[in-house]
Structure 1
Amino acid sequence: MSGTEVRANKWGVGVELAEDHLGPIRFLAAISGREDDLRLGLHVLPDQQMLHPLVNPEDAKAIRKKVEKNVAETLARGGLEGAQTRVELIEDDEIERGLCEGGERLGLDALVIGRRARRDEDPIVRLGEVARRVLRRLPAPVVVVPPDFGSPGDAGLGKGPILLATDLSEHCDAAASFAADLAARLERPLILAHGTQAFHWGVSYIPAEAMARLQDQARSGADQKLVSWAKGRGLEGAKHEVFMGDPVKHLLRIADSEDAAVLVTGSRKLGAVERLFLASVSSELAAAASCPVAVVG
């Protein structure tokens, strides 16, 4: 995507004061090398008013100063320091609310956060409640990063392309712009991935050759729609891939096989009732992918 102009960004990263959760900071250090990029380390601490009268004003000031120092040191250990790196302390009794409202107030171009699961493990809780709630609100494009990203022995940023997952709806327009900008920033190719529904009816009695023709026709039609969609957004030079079936399964496969640097997807922002019945593809990808996943609303 060499024709895309790379612009300066105001990046935010949620900072956890734990040595084994430096992944989001390392990721931001890897992609924000421009001199005019601004990197803000966001850390949420309890609202001082909630602690009153346990903490007097002098103690509260000392606590903030100590936390600010700890956050700055954590950012530096992850590779973020210098004049374009700043600490933003946010007082709130709910971490996800503090991150979301802080991100909106600061006008972030993107917010980088961590998830619970490392790349090499498969626990019951993969995403974590804070990350899940931030993805529901999407105060800005949110990039979810494994906590061990870039740690000793970890490969860090993939050597492959930026992978954009699209359902060709308006929900993916902002994601397309974000992915193109990221591809230009990292000087990586862009791959577009689009899925079409698999056939579930008549599989048992339709002849195999006829079923193969139907599937080929469905893929061909989806490919033509993807080409048209890409052209309308200035992405006609991007490689594209069409799959049939479960989008999470196939997108994870493509991301792994291509060694994708980042997987970018749009979001429909499901309501509370919808979430009871429908799984969010973007949240599932963010929880399971081995690479960072950017969710753009």
Structure 2
Amino acid sequence: MIRCQPIGVFDSGVGGFTVAREVFRQLPGEEILYFADTAHVPYGPRPADELVRFAFEIVTFLISEGAKLILVACNTSSSLALDLLQEHFSVPIVGVVNPGAEEAVSVSKNGRIGVLATEATIRKGAHAQRIFELKGRAKVFGQACPRFVPLVETGRYLGSEARQASREYLTPLLEKNIDTIILGCTHYPFLEPIIRDTIGKEIALVDPACQTVAQGKELIEKGIVSPRDPRLGKPRHRFYVSGDPQAFVRVGSPLIGGRLLTDVQQVCLDGILDRENQKVVIA
């Protein structure tokens, strides 16, 4: 019997669909195993140690379900936990922060780059750190956007509240003469029409999803991760949540297609580190 090993993708909610859609586009023969930690969304206001623990629990679950590669489709988790996850687990793990920072450096002409992200991501400063490694004279301006994720998670990402929030968050960045903005949360590309209306056409918007999946694809092409056997037939994607499956389907269906969300399962990850013998000490 041929064993199917999916690509694990996780986020606090539906934001990771921006990465999942890129998997469908770049790796159409692969199968994804998606986990949305909707019981704990939004991640931004939560303390770092708690968010690191959530990431370890989710990755442990995805690997227990056979994931051969993990895409951390959450900038907050990537900022706080990626290095620890990569040190602890043998399965390849790719985050979204470095791909976004690297693309921003490549497209910015004046080296003045804005970062829209959650509070926790801005506090960590991982985007700025990577940008400075690549271009030491760059100027990076971070802007926390605490209302954006709840607006997406409740399906209100194109309404008047979103427009008001966009103006509030982007006006300070526009005053810094930036020419590039990183969408430093995977939820934010769903707000791109609103953001674009606020900033105009001249400023580049960087969505890290494409380059993140490209890095995962490279691991497959180099033979570090095995490709899915085509004899398995059409991919069967699986979706799991820690919160309410119905709410996830209601909000997520317009974003990724309702036909994919016909069998969303709720799972509780409390105690999974002990059950899977993952004795992790998280500071």
Q: TM-score range by the shorter chain?
A: under 0.3
The structure where helix makes up a greater share of residues is: 2
Higher relative contact order (CA 8 A, sep 6+): 2
TM-score (norm 2): 0.27
Structure with max Cα Rg: 1
